Every structure is written in C-alpha cells, then in structure tokens.
Structure 1
Amino acid sequence: MLEIGMEIQDDVLNVSLKGKLDGMTFTEFEEQLESKRDEAQKIVIDATGLEYVSSAGLRVIMSTELYMEKNNKERIKITNASDDIKEIIELCGFDQVIDME
C-alpha cells in the first residue's frame, strides 16, 4: 500500500510518499504525477515514510525527471529518504540526475 500526498505551492509540486512504491502501486503514483507536473516548475518528493521502491517506482521517477528536463524545468529533489532508499537510487546511478537531500 502507498499513501500519496500532493500539493502545489509557489510552482513547486510537493509530494509525500508513505509505504511501498512497487509493482502494485506505481501506476497510481505515475497517474497522479502526470496530472500535476505541468503546473509545477519543480518537484520535491518527501520520502520520509517511503519503505521500499522497486524498479517500476524508479522508472516513474526517472521518466518524470526526463519530462522535467525536456520542458526546461528544475531537477526532481528527493528529501528525507532512508539509507536503504538512497542506496538503491545510488546503485542505479539515478543520484547523478536527481537531487538528493
């Protein structure tokens, strides 16, 4: 199960994730991101409650990052990720294109 919160404030789409971003939940996350990304210049994902991310979840984040880049928007920023989530992102090399805080 994944709880997704999204709020736009000052051209920033603030996203909060709680639970598992996996093969069962990535579609809903992708649909919600796609419905809001045009309204924002920047996306910040608060991963405080994110327990797990699968390759499907990473694909959603990367495809959104590519969209942001193509449309001259700021890089996605992921904040408050656990060490395990950071390690997964780094092992995939995604830390080279996504800001981590």
Structure 2
Amino acid sequence: MAESMIDIHVEDLKRVELVRVSGRIDSSNAAEFDNVLKEVASRKHNVVLEMSGVDYISSAGLRAIVALLRECKKARGDVRLANPSERVVEVLALAGLDSLFGVYENEAAAVGSF
C-alpha cells in the first residue's frame, strides 16, 4: 500500500490561523499533522480547521485536533471546523467529540465567528 498523502496549508489571518487540510489523516502522517497543529497553537489561540477535503481521519488524527483544542482553550482561544467532510463529521460523532467543536458551513463563517 502506498503511503497516505496529506496536504496541509496554514494561513495567518488577523485574529485566526486558518489550517486547510486535505487527504487522509492516519497513522503514517498523524505525527506530521500534530506537529503542524502544535506550531499553529504556539502562534495563535484561535484556529479554524478547514477539512472539506479530508476523506479519512484516524484516532491519531482525532487526538491531534483534541490536543490542539486543549492548548487553545488554555489560552482562552478555540478551534472551529469549517465545512468538514461527511467522514470527519461521522468520525467525530462516533467518538463522541462532535459537541466539542463549533462547525461552520464555510471558511468565512468560521473565521468570522471569532
């Protein structure tokens, strides 16, 4: 099996870090994803994750976004999801984590919510 591909782009906006993620977040790249999120949390405490292009997220990927949320909340910030794919919504619900994140239908709405 080929190594899973993940594409992560970080954009620094005025009040928010916007992180666009696409591809598969699994055990082969969850550490990379986690490292990017830790770097983002060290700069800003309000983060929008745009996840419309994520077709798979493993428990390791979920741990990374929950760890990001924890770090942001410590600094009175928050993490919001913009247009998450059906798969991301499904996995968050199955894990009982869907109530932890504000979900918005697009980037503009999520960024504007801060």
Normalising by the residue count of structure 1, what TM-score does the alignment of the two structures yield? 0.91
Out of 71, 77, 80, the residue aligned to residue 80 of structure 2 is 77
Task: Give the letter for the 2:16 counterpart.
Answer: V
- Where in structure 2 are the equivalents of 1:31-70 lying within 5 Å? 31-70=35-74
TM-score of the two chains, using structure 2 as the length reference: 0.82
The unaligned stretches of length 5 or more in structure 1 are: none
**How far apart are 1:84 and its partner, in Å?**
2.1
Find runs of 4+ consecutive structure 1 residues off by over 2 angstroms. none
For the pair shown, the structure with the greater C-alpha radius of gyration is 2
Note the residue ranges of structure 2 that are not aligned, 5 or more in a row: 105-114
Q: Give the equivalent residue in structure 2 for 1:87.
A: 90
Q: Secondary structure at the match of 1:15?
A: strand
1:11/1:39 contact within 8 Å kept: no
Q: How many percent of aligned residue pairs carry the same amino acid?
A: 27
The residue aligned with 1:2 is: 6
